[in-house]
Amino acid sequence: MHNVELLNITETADSNISNKKAENKKEKIKVDKLNAFFGNVKALNNISLSFSENTVTAIIGPSGCGKSTLLRCINRMHEEVSGTYEGIISLDDENIKDNDPVWLRRKIGMIFQKPNPFPTMSIMDNVTAGLRLNGIRNRSKLKEIAEQSLRQAFLWDEVKDILKQPGIALSGGQQQRLCIARTLAVSPEVILMDEPASALDPLSTNKIEELIFELKKSYTVIIVTHNMQQAARVSDYTAFMYLGELVEYNKTANIFTNPSNKRTEEYVTGRFG
Amino acid sequence: MQIINLIKRKIFKQQAGIISVEAPAASFSIKNLLGGKNVGDLVFQNVLRFFASILLLIVVLMVIQMVNQSMPSIKQFGWNFIKNNTWDPVKEEYSAWPFIFGTLYSSLLALLIALPLSLGVSIFLSEFAPRWLEKIVSLLVELLAAVPSIVYGLFGIFVLAPWLRTTIEPALGNKFGFLPLFTGPPYGLGMFAAVIILVVMILPIITSISRDVMKAIPVTQREAAYALGATKWEVVKIILGGAKSGIVGATLLGLGRAVGETMAVTMVIGNTPQISYSLFEPGHTMASVIANEFSEATSTLHVSSLIEISLLLFIITVILNAAARLIVWGVTKKYKGRK
């Protein structure tokens, strides 16, 4: 039973890859036969999929299914919590393990579930934190990039007069957009979002979703979400994961209207999970 | 009588449906009659208030007594008590400057050595060490803090001082004798031994508090830094930035401990009231002079001078500790206040 299902999964995944090639979008990140572990516990089982440039891909699934772990493997944050993985993840056809994780994370930015601005830094310093890590000291350049990033994150108008105030003085939704601006400032190519709106009110959530839609134009976005309406609204592709396995990966419209796997159907219609 | 009437009225209102019956327990207890307070709570509160005020009373009485008893010396010497260098019980001339100097010099030197060491240890413990190692090392560090100071003192006299006299001080004197720090004959017992003992004693305080403050910084902060492409060292820098005020607090607490330390320092510092920057020379501290002389002090002025020194010591330590607590309290509040 299990094996049969696994076969199905690989089939759907394969067919999707060919689908996307037809669309002629470059595959930015490829995940090949990924197995991830926490100590001896296997968290991800044989995951293979790829994420295309300038698209938003949502990863959905019940709690503990490995969504976040998959995300954290991609920018090697998984290894910071002494996790390990087998298989190959590549960025622009280059194995991410061939490079320094520090370099990788400057190309693959990440937004977390809980807004986490640096509490001792002002709004301005928060946005430019990554740049300063990169050794940029020129004040006018920092200011220019900060304004640009804050504008991109739809936050500039709200904070332009209070840039010297601490980042944690902002509301939760503003803090999250500040974190997004901070990530954009180092000009990454891929943005990973781990339930970026789950701690926010509906209005702030709305703003974040609009923002994701804009970000798609210049970045590859991968978003983990618990909220299926959100996945349906913002994403082009959706991956459904269950118990560490990739059950189905397809265009979002297909996943929500015509899922090929029964589990997917049950999940998106709210019958389990 | 009135109370009974009140209760009756309440029962009546309840029956008439004027007061909602949904919360009868609340509206029917003595609580309401006492302005919303429970009798037991009220008694308990006041008993605790009494206990707390005893503490305050002790401090106030102590200060009053110290000021009172040091009056003869304050009247006799005035500000000269702090400025002059003579401490001569035979001529009845007393001034505290050599002791204040000895206290501050030994404590600050100890801090200068202990601070980088403790920071290194606490960064290692909170950021680098695996959990099992962190537990073991933390336990050892806290054990170090629990060792009675007389034990450190004995160690200082019988192990440290002879070693300094025969090995370390001659070597340092030969090579760095041109520095004012390392001049004079090697006695063993002196400022050097006192500083080393103090370093060992304040190391655990600074280490364990700094580690706690660093660990109090949420994981999300570390992840934010890592996700921005920070190296391990840069993450540590960001964490140190957040823990800055807590570390300052820890340092002040360590300094407070060093300033007030009596037994171990008395045993190894050499007890000579002089002002010398050389580590090889013996010195004296405020705490050590009190410990040494209180039993021999017979004249009123001698006793009074010793008590004035204790008053000064008290003031210095209170200021240091208050500053430290305020700072540490401030930093924990900042992180716990917001989610």
* Same domain for B186 and B139: yes
Does residue A122 carry a pLDDT above 70? Answer: yes
- Look at residue A140 and tell me if it is in a domain: yes
**A213: in domain:** yes
Distance, CA of B266 to CA of B197 (rounded, Å): 11
Residue that finishes a domain, picked among B24, B54, B71: B71
State the nearest Cα–Cα gap between A259 and chain B, in angstroms.
34
- Are the beta carbons of B227 and A75 separated by less than 8 Å? yes
3-state secondary structure of A223: strand
Nearest chain B residue to A72 by CA distance is B227
DSSP, collapsed to helix, strand or coil, labels residue A65 as: coil
Residue contact A133–B228, C-beta within 8 A: yes
A231: in domain: yes
Q: Pick from A80, A168, A186: which is nearest to B229 by CB?
A: A186
Report yes or no on A23 lying in a domain. no
Name the residue among B226, B238, B338 with its Cβ closest to that of A118.
B238
ipTM: 0.82
Residue A156's pLDDT is 92
- As a residue count, chain A comes to 273
Interface of B with A in 280-339 (CB under 8 A): 334-335, 338
CB atoms within 10 A of CB A228: 19
Whether residue B54 is found in the same domain as residue B186: no
CATH number of the domain to which B129 belongs: 1.10.3720.10
Q: Tell me, what's the pLDDT at A1? A: 40
Residues B160 and B57 in one domain: no
Do B275 and B195 fall within a single domain? yes
Which residue out of A118, A132, A178, A187 would a mutagenesis test of the B interface target, given it has the greatest number of B Cβ atoms within 10 Å? Answer: A118
Provide the shortest C-alpha distance from residue B224 to chain A (in Å): 6
pLDDT of residue B335: 54
Q: By CB neighbour count within 10 A (0-12 exposed, 13-18 middle, 19+ buried), where does A68 fall?
A: buried
Report d(CA A223, CA B226) in Å as an integer.
19
Inter-chain CB proximity A114 and B220 less than 8 Å = yes
Listed in sequence order, the residues at least 6 apart from B291 whose beta carbon sits closer than 8 Å to its beta carbon are: B262, B263, B266
Are residues B87 and B153 both part of a single domain? yes
**Kind of pairing between the strands at A237-242 and A245-251:** antiparallel
What pLDDT is attached to residue B28? 54
Identify whether residues B63 and B94 lie together within a single domain: no
In this structure, chain B runs to a length of 339
Tokens matching residue B57: 């009373």
Instruction: Name the closest residue on chain A to residue B237, using Cα atoms.
Output: A133
pLDDT higher than threshold 90 for residue A269: no
Number of structural domains (chain A) is 1
Query: For residue B56, is pLDDT > 50?
Result: yes
Q: Is residue A255 within 8 Å of residue A75, measured between CB atoms?
A: no
Any idea what DSSP says for residue A189?
S
> For residue A19, what pLDDT is reported?
46
Q: Specify whether B139 is located in the same domain as B172.
A: yes
d(CA A62, CA A56): 20
Token couple for A132: 């300063």
Q: In angstroms, rounded to a whole number, what is the distance separating the alpha carbons of residues A215 and A231?
A: 15
Condensed to tens digits (0 to 9), the pLDDT of residues A134-168 reads 788 888 999 999 999 999 888 999 998 998 888 88
Whole-angstrom Cα distance, residue B130 to residue B119?
17
Angstrom distance (rounded) from CA B316 to CA B310: 10
Asked if residue A35 belongs to a domain, the reply is no
Distance from CA of A179 to the nearest CA of B (A): 9
Taking CA atoms, A172 is separated from A114, B89, B339, in Å, by: 9, 68, 9
Which domain covers residue B13, as residue numbers?
2-71
Query: In this model, does residue A22 exceed pLDDT 70?
Result: no
Burial class of residue A217 (count of CB atoms within 10 Å of its CB; 0-12, 13-18, 19+): exposed
Which domain range does residue A192 map to? Answer: 53-82+98-268
> What does the DSSP 8-state code read for residue A237?
E
A213: domain CATH number is: 3.40.50.300
At A241 the three-state DSSP class reads strand
Query: DSSP label at A80?
Result: G
Q: Same domain for B91 and B10?
A: no
Q: What is the pLDDT of residues B284-303, one digit of tens each?
A: 999 999 999 988 888 999 99
Half-sphere exposure of A72 (CA within 13 A, CB side): 25
* Closest CA–CA distance from residue A33 to any residue of chain B (Å): 24
* Residue B1 confidence (pLDDT) above 80: no
Of the given ranges (A5-9, A84-88, A162-166, B296-300), which has the lowest mean pLDDT? A5-9
Of B44, B71, B98, the one marking the end of a domain is B71
Q: B43 with B129, same domain? A: no
User: Is residue A247 included in any domain, yes or no?
Assistant: yes
Is the CB of B135 inside 8 Å of chain A's CB atoms? no
Asked whether residue A141 is domain-assigned, the answer is yes
Do B22 and B131 lie in one domain? The reply is no
User: What pLDDT score does B338 carry?
Assistant: 42
Residue given tokens 């009596």 in the structure block: B262
Task: Quote the longest CA-to-CA distance of chain B.
Answer: 101
The per-residue pLDDT for B205 is 93
- Terminal C-alpha separation, chain A: 21
Q: Is the domain of B295 the same as that of B259?
A: yes
Q: What total of structural domains would you count in chain B? A: 2
**Is residue A218 assigned to a domain?**
yes
**Taking CA atoms, what residue in B is nearest to A102?**
B229
What is the mean predicted confidence (pLDDT) over B213-239? Answer: 89
CA-based R_g, chain B, Å: 29
Domain boundary, last residue among B42, B71, B100 = B71
Asked if A116 and B230 come within 8 Å (Cβ–Cβ), the reply is no
Q: Looking up tokens 């998106």, which residue turns up? A: A268
The two beta strands, A220-224 and A56-60, are parallel
Together in a domain, B64 and B90: no
Which residues from A are below 8 Å from B when comparing CB atoms?
75, 77, 80, 102-106, 109-110, 112, 114, 116-121, 129-130, 133-134, 168, 179, 182-183, 186
- pLDDT for B136 equals 94
